[in-house]
């Protein structure tokens, strides 16, 4: 049967804590795009591989992982070295790369931006900086978008691959990327290699699975799915854990894609 009553906060917290613990384990990595940056140990390699994995996270996970591996193989599986030391002739390897609407034009601009950025910075974290008093990473996402497209003659088509709250986007891929880089625990999934952004400032990645499960749990009331929806979801998750609200991404995503909650209309209350 469908949910017949609103769960009490303590009931919901206990349930989602249990599910987050269940899915936030190394076994989660294998079939997920986060497996791409997990192939590296150098900080900059993790940042670069993670960014591409997050941006290409569109479609079936098996295809996303395959295309990310293909892209990084064209960088000789040494992304930071390639970004910082490649020659013009090396870029020919990307002329036929494509994943859905992400094509060679987009790839080459990403490479150009990353080379420009790493020429003056040690970590991509500096492109997403927020202030300690900021409640969320909203300003950091806006800053990254503006910085990313600050180079001369950027391809206008690439703008669809870098979301911004200023366009009311949920920014789900970039929020997922920030979760990977910022969250730190002993579970071995997220990296926690950035420490200037607080986990409490993160916004939960609001993909279709997370959104559908969150609506069934009454964590989202807003009819539209946009930036305000993502912040509404995160605000409700903060009530469950004010320090690390986005850990519940594991629970919501797992319930949706592994347990079928994003498809099922029946049996949810009984599962709880």
Q: What percent of the chain has pLDDT over 70?
A: 94
Q: With CA atoms as reference, report the closest residue to 45 among 102, 126, 114, 96.
A: 114
- Which pLDDT value is given to residue 194? 98
For residues 267 and 160, give the distance between their C-alpha atoms in angstroms, rounded to a whole number. Answer: 38
* Contact residues for 47 (Cβ-Cβ < 8 A; gap 6+): 37, 123, 124, 125, 181, 193
- Which pLDDT value is given to residue 6? 62
- Which pLDDT value is given to residue 268? 46
202 and 183 Cβ atoms separated by less than 8 Å: yes
Q: With CA atoms as reference, report the closest residue to 52 among 200, 174, 206.
A: 174
Q: Which range (95-109, 137-151, 182-196, 258-272) has the least confidence? A: 258-272
Q: Scan for tokens 């300003």, then name that residue.
A: 139
> What average pLDDT does the chain have?
94
For residues 76 and 82, give the distance between their C-alpha atoms in angstroms, rounded to a whole number. Answer: 8
| HSE value, Cβ hemisphere, 13 Å, CA-based, for 149 | 16
SS3 102: strand
- Which pLDDT value is given to residue 269? 38
Beta-carbon neighbour count of residue 255 at 10 Å? 27
Per-residue pLDDT at 263 exceeds 70: yes
239 and 220 Cβ atoms separated by less than 8 Å: no
């Amino acid at each position: 049967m469908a949910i017949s009553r609103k769960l009490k906060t303590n009931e919901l917290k206990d349930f989602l804590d249990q599910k987050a613990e269940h899915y936030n384990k190394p076994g989660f990595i294998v079939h997920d795009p986060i497996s791409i940056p997990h192939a590296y140990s150098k900080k900059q390699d993790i940042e670069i591989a993670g960014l591409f994995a997050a941006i290409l996270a569109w479609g079936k996970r098996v295809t996303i992982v395959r295309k990310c591996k293909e892209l990084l193989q064209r960088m000789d599986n040494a992304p930071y070295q390639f970004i910082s030391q490649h020659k013009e002739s090396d870029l020919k390897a990307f002329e036929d790369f494509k994943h859905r609407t992400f094509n060679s034009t987009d790839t080459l601009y990403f490479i150009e931006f990353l080379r420009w950025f790493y020429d003056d910075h040690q970590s991509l974290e500096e492109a997403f900086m927020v202030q300690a008093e900021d409640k969320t990473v909203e300003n950091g996402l806006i800053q990254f978008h503006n910085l990313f497209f600050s180079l001369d003659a950027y391809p206008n088509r690439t703008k669809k691959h870098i979301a911004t709250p200023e366009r009311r986007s949920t920014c789900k891929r970039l929020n997922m990327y920030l979760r990977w880089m910022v969250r730190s625990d002993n579970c071995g999934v997220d990296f926690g290699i950035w420490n200037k952004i607080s986990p409490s400032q993160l916004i939960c990645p609001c993909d279709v699975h997370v959104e559908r499960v969150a609506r069934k749990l009454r964590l989202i009331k807003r009819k539209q799915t946009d930036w305000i929806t993502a912040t509404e979801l995160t605000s409700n998750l903060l009530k469950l854990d004010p320090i690390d609200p986005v850990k519940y991404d594991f629970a919501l995503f797992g319930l949706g894609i592994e347990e079928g909650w994003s498809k099922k209309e029946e049996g949810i209350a009984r599962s709880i």
